[in-house]
């Protein structure tokens, strides 16, 4: 297992009552999604934010990291990659919860692209499920085995641009189907005209989801 680290944003109130961990996409880094946290942080003064760098540098991409190597959208490779990176990601989640003396129910996971694969893989297999998971422009790895392995069924929001040519939007629809088959529901939203990124509608939906999930209104 590799130890990972990355940018953090302390709660503006000075006291962390909740934690959001953001998993970035392939070839990006924690600083990238820390900008997403900055966008939301003003509305959540009691939330601590952490955006770790994935464990492996991407060859030929200075400052870029990957949770696992991926050269094509092969379901078996995505599942194997998510499994291989999961112990590192889970250790980081546990250490951040200890850092702020919080429990697993105080946690929300946010992922983008490959980071969505990690957020779903880890969040659905934690002993104490998170308060919620937000997945942008991603996919569900290992859907076939999820029903046998799932230990948590948190509320989930999936958002995907309908012009995404990196991970096709059909992957979010397939993820919603896979989650439903495992008994875990998910809301999903397609952002019109959006490529592989997060639009204003996705930011607003994410903020509403965070507020509702932390308040327990999805339970």
Instruction: Read off the pLDDT of each residue in 31-50 and give the average, rounded to a whole number.
Output: 95
Q: What percent of the chain has pLDDT over 70?
A: 99
pLDDT bracket for residue 2 (50, 70, 90): confident
| Residue 73: band (very low, low, confident or very high) from pLDDT cuts 50, 70, 90 | confident
Q: Can you give the pLDDT at residue 196?
A: 96
**Lowest mean per-residue pLDDT among 36-45, 66-75, 189-198:** 66-75
Under 8 Å between Cβ of 101 and 161: no
Say yes or no to pLDDT of 113 above 60: yes
Q: What is the pLDDT of residues 45-54, one digit of tens each?
A: 999 999 999 9
Instruction: Give me the mean pLDDT over the 15-29 stretch.
Output: 97
User: CA-CA distance, 14 to 163, in Å (whole number)?
Assistant: 40
Rounded to the nearest integer, the mean pLDDT of the chain is 95
For residues 154 and 129, is the Cβ–Cβ distance under 8 A?
yes
Is pLDDT of 219 > 60? no
Report the pLDDT value the prediction gives residue 60, as an integer from 0 to 100.
Answer: 85
pTM above 0.85, yes or no: yes
* Whole-angstrom distance, CA of residue 70 vs CA of residue 53: 17
- What does residue 179 show for φ and ψ, rounded to 5 degrees? -65, -40
Residue 219 DSSP symbol: -
Q: Which domains does the chain have, with CATH numbers?
A: 8-214 (3.40.50.1820)
Q: What CA–CA distance (Å, rounded) separates 203 from 33?
A: 12
Q: Indicate if the pLDDT at residue 218 is higher than 80.
A: no
Instruction: Specify the pLDDT at position 74.
Output: 86
C-alpha span between 89 and 1 (Å, rounded): 9
Per-residue pLDDT at 36 exceeds 70: yes
Least confident stretch, 66-75, 82-91, 96-105, 138-147: 66-75
């Amino acid at each position: 297992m590799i130890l990972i680290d990355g940018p953090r944003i302390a709660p503006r109130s000075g006291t962390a009552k909740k934690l959001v961990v953001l998993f970035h996409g392939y070839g990006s880094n924690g600083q990238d999604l820390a900008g997403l946290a900055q966008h939301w942080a003003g509305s959540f003064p009691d939330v601590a934010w952490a955006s770790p760098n994935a464990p492996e540098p991407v060859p030929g991409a200075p400052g870029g990291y990957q949770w696992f190597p991926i050269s094509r959208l092969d379901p078996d490779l995505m599942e194997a990659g998510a499994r291989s990176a999961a112990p590192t990601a889970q250790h980081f989640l546990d250490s951040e919860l200890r850092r702020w003396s919080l429990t697993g129910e105080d946690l929300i996971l946010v992922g983008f692209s490959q980071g969505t694969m990690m957020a779903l893989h880890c969040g659905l297999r934690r002993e104490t499920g998170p308060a919620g998971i937000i997945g942008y422009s991603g996919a569900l790895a290992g859907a076939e085995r999820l029903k046998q392995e799932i230990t948590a069924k948190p509320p989930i929001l999936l958002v995907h641009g309908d012009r995404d040519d990196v991970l096709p939007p059909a992957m979010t629809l397939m993820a919603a189907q896979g989650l439903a088959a495992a008994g875990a529901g998910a809301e999903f939203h397609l952002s019109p005209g959006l490529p592989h990124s997060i639009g204003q509608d996705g930011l607003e939906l994410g903020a509403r989801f965070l507020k509702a999930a932390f308040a327990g209104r999805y339970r």
